[in-house]
Structure 1
Amino acid sequence: MSLTRGRCLLPDLRKSRGWTQKELAERLKPYVNVPVPSLSKYEIGDRDLPDLVRKACAIVFDVTMDDLYEYKW
């Protein structure tokens, strides 16, 4: 049985800090430019987080890259 990546936890992390998508986009700017419409697609699962965006989010939220997704068996 293999581990699969589930739901993106980006909206949970963002909301737990009280940030809007626009505020998150601003915090990501030193690392990567992510437009708000792209953040929205990542959060609802329409698109996977690219590795560079994933790394930048991990830095901004002070979590590991794996912490950005829910994993299941």
Structure 2
Amino acid sequence: MNRRIIAIVSVCLLAGCGQKADLKPLAGQTLPPAPLGSDVQPSSADLLELDTQAEPERNVELRRRSESREDDPFDLPPE
């Protein structure tokens, strides 16, 4: 029982000690090369930003209540 409590407390303490500093490459390492056709080397902050395809904005409004469907000319029965 005591070991479980110690383990839970240890995990909680470990989870709360995250680093808040900027990311930098390790000593002797460099960032990836610049993309093909680009003259500018992206920084670590630039590399961590999500692409618009990875996190698209929602551009449709959700339906709040059921609505009747429009007739679909391509919804044909099987032959």
Bigger proportion of residues as helix: 1
Bigger proportion of residues as strand: 1
TM-score range, shorter chain: under 0.3
The structure with more radius of gyration? 2
Q: What TM-score, normalized by structure 1, do the two folds share?
A: 0.21
**Higher relative CO (CA 8 A, sep ≥ 6), structure 1 or 2?**
1
